[in-house]
Structures are given as C-alpha cells and as structure tokens.
C-alpha cells in the first residue's frame, strides 16, 4: 500500500538507491533477503508488530529476512528522504562465507533478538555508504565489481 510515489534511482546488483519525490511513502514489505538500509537525509520508520525503529540522516538499520515490516519514508528537517538499501541474498551470503577464512568468523555470536535493529553509528558503516554518494546525483552507474565490493564491505 503506497500513499505517495517513491522514485528508485536504480537497483544495481542488489544495491538500491532511492529517494522520495513527494512528501512520504509507506509500504508493507516482506524482506526476502537481509537488508541494510542507510538514511542519507529525511526520516524512515520501520514498524514490526508494535515495535517502531526510527532512523534519520546518518543512521543505519538492519532488517532480518523473512519478516514483514511497514516502512515509512518521509521528509525531515526540510530534506526529502534519500537512502541506500543493500540486499544480502542467500546466494551472496553462501559465496561470501565460503570464501571467508573460518578463523575470521566470530565465535559465540548471539543472533539479534529483534528482526529490526538500529545499528550503532560507526565510521565503518558511514564509509561504506559515503563512498556511494557520487552515484546519487550522477548518470554514471557503478560497475558490477564495485557493487560486489560494497556488498562485501556491508
């Protein structure tokens, strides 16, 4: 259910650059893949059941796959919503973990208790997404190798 028009700049190798032309966009979404959503400007809220997570400029949210959520993207502080979503498909994750050195995989990690988690601000997260800013306002689309690298960094 969408109340306004969302424009997708492009969906390239499972990385989606999007912005809202009108004031807001609301959709119910069942994430088939794990998602990492970074808000450059505007405001996004993600609601699952009765829990709501709000993210504004510079914040990042992780959404577990196979969960239905309501995502609302709106203007905030006079800035339209702009964000990037990284989709981590099962095929991508299989290859990623197969290629990863087993000693580099953290041991005894507990899974997130919630299916929607706002991540703590960090330079690592910011740097992954800031490096993609030039593609927001450009006719140039990144190549497959760059998008693969960005997903791996994510």
Parse the chain into domains and list their residue ranges: 6-102+112-149
Residue found by looking up tokens 């969960």 in the block: 67
Give me the pLDDT at residue 133, please. Answer: 81
Give me the pLDDT at residue 4, please. Answer: 47
CATH node for 6-102+112-149: 2.60.120.810
Over residues 10-36, the pLDDT tens digits come to: 666 787 877 665 666 666 667 788 999
- State the pairing for strand pair 6-12/51-56: unpaired
Give me the pLDDT at residue 58, please. Answer: 93
Task: Report d(CA 70, CA 80) in Å as an integer.
Answer: 19
Give me the pLDDT at residue 31, please. Answer: 79
Over residues 53-101, the pLDDT tens digits come to: 999 999 999 999 988 888 888 888 888 888 999 999 898 888 888 877 7
Sheet of strand 51-56, all strands in order from the earlier edge strand to the far edge: 24-31, 67-74, 43-48, 51-56
């Amino acid at each position: 259910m969408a109340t306004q028009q969302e424009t997708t700049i492009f969906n390239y190798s499972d990385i989606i650059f999007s912005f809202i032309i009108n004031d807001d966009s609301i959709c119910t979404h069942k994430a088939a893949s794990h998602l990492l959503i970074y808000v450059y400007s505007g405001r996004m809220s993600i609601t699952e059941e009765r829990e709501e997570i709000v993210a504004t400029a510079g914040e990042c949210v992780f959404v577990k796959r196979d969960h239905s959520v309501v995502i609302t993207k709106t203007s905030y502080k006079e800035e339209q919503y702009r964000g990037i979503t990284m989709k981590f498909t099962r095929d991508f994750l299989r290859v990623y973990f197969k290629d990863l050195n087993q000693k580099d995989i953290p041991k005894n990690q507990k899974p997130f208790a919630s299916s929607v988690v706002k991540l703590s601000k960090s330079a690592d997260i910011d740097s992954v997404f800031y490096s993609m800013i030039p593609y927001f306002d450009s006719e140039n689309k990144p190549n497959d190798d760059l998008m693969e690298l960005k997903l791996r960094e994510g």
